[in-house]
Amino acid sequence: MARHDAGWCLRANRWGEWRAVRRFFAVVSRLGDGVFWYVLMGALLLVDGIDGLAASAHMAATGVTALLLYKALKRWTRRPRPFASDTRIQAWVAPLDEFSFPSGHTLHAVSFSLVALSHYPALAWLLIPFSACVAASRVVLGLHYPSDVLAATGIGVALASLSVWLVPGVRLLGG
């Protein structure tokens, strides 16, 4: 499995050889560092007042939990980043930390998106493609293996589901 994971990572990373692709995913990745989510939380507050504040607070609480979980998992697994393990893989942007598993960008994108969508399902047109691009960016940029992104997606779904379940009157995906 590790061989296939590395192979998929190498194939995706080669897309970064095209400058436009590399720039696109570098911008998406940078926005996924937090900028996009902070702007979204601020916009929800401005547009929807107290309900926007509640949704933003819910996202923030989930984000803090995601951050603690992701940092603990990185310390525990200590999986080297793809570019550190395979000289054929290029890191197209600088990593935020040393280890690969799980993808914190993906974990946050998935958990933030699902919590936001539980409050505002109409934002699916924006949040689902953006989160998918964040996840793809991590592999294309040579910072994560596909399995890091898939695991982070599962963790993000589980965390968001628990978070939504704990908040009365909120349902996953607004259902």
pLDDT digits (tens, 9 = 90+) for 43-99: 999 999 999 999 999 999 999 999 999 999 999 999 999 999 888 999 999 898 889
Q: Tokens at residue 86, please? A: 């395979």
Query: What 3-state class would DSSP assign to 99?
Result: strand
The Cα 115–Cα 172 span in angstroms is 7
| Residue 112 confidence class, pLDDT cut points 50, 70, 90 | very high
pLDDT of residue 71: 93
Dmax over CA atoms of the chain, in Å, equals: 51
pLDDT at 40 over 90: yes
Judge contact between 106 and 149, C-beta under 8 A: yes
Q: Is 154 left (phi over 0), alpha (psi -120 to 50) or beta?
A: alpha
What percent of the chain has a predicted confidence (pLDDT) above 90? 82
pLDDT at 173 over 70: no
Judge contact between 97 and 74, C-beta under 8 A: yes
Max mean pLDDT range (82-91, 95-104, 143-152, 163-172): 143-152
**Mean pLDDT of the region 5-15:** 89
Judge contact between 106 and 81, C-beta under 8 A: no
Q: Which residue has the tokens 């994108």?
A: 109
Query: Which residues lie across from 99 on neighbouring strands?
Result: 80
pLDDT of residue 105: 96
**More confident call, 170 vs 138:** 138
pTM as predicted: 0.92
User: pLDDT by residue (tens digit) across 79-92?
Assistant: 999 999 888 999 99
What φ, ψ does residue 80 adopt, rounded to 5°?
A: -65, 150
